[in-house]
Each structure stands twice: as C-alpha cells, then as structure tokens.
Copies of this chain bind each other. A is one copy, B any other.
C-alpha cells in the first residue's frame, strides 16, 4: 500500500458515520449487511448512507454485492489489514531501519497482535 492509497483509506474512516458503518460491517463479517439495515442502525437517511458507503467502496475498504432486491455491503478485511500494516510500518517506528531507538516504544503492540505478520 502506498501513501496516497493510505490517505484515501484513512479519509474514508475519518468520519463518524462511515466509521460506525464500517465497524458494523466488521462485526458482521464477510456475510455483510444490507444498505437499509446499515442506514437504520447508523441512524441516517438512505441517501446519506449511500454517499458514505461510496467512500468506503472507493477506498477499497468495503465490497458490494446484490442479493435479491437488496445490496449487501461487507468489510474488506484484507484492505483493512493492509492499512494497519501501512500504519504499523510507516507511522509507528517499526519497519524503519536501525537508527531508531524508538522501536522499543512500539514493540509493545507488536507482541500483542500483528506486526510479525510481515517479517523482513
């Protein structure tokens, strides 16, 4: 993932309603959720929701598929992992070569969850 893609993804998540919608999608897994349900749960009109879902789609953070008369959105976990990978490597002191004593500060998280996912 390059910086400009990351900016797009970050921007897509940097909004109350979009973050809420995305978290909802994450909760539902690959199965996804119909647009109407998302709108209702997030508490915004359908047209507004579409506007925001388009953001997530453009950023590659969500996918869309039709199921009968409804359209199902699902979180794209791979994209989200890429984003977290980018942040971890480029914005957190990790993945930056030796001259950083900073690495230690960040190692904390490295243990707890991901980080070893992409051994150099």
Report which A residues bind B (CB closer than 8 A): 3-4, 6-7, 10-11, 13-16, 19-20, 22-23, 26-31, 75, 77-78, 80-81, 83-85, 87-88, 90-94, 96, 100-102, 105-106, 108-111, 113-114, 117-119
From residue A81, how far is it (CB to closest CB) to chain B in Å?
5
Can you add 14 more A-B contacts, CB < 8 Å, to A10-B14, A26-B96, A78-B114?
Answer: A6-B19, A10-B10, A10-B11, A13-B91, A19-B91, A26-B92, A27-B102, A29-B100, A29-B101, A30-B117, A30-B119, A75-B91, A77-B109, A84-B84
From residue A74, how far is it (CB to closest CB) to chain B in Å?
9
User: Do the beta carbons of A83 and B87 come within 8 Å of each other?
Assistant: yes
Majority DSSP secondary structure for residues of A touching B: helix
Known: A15-B7, A29-B102, A102-B28. A92 touches B81 (CB 8 A): yes
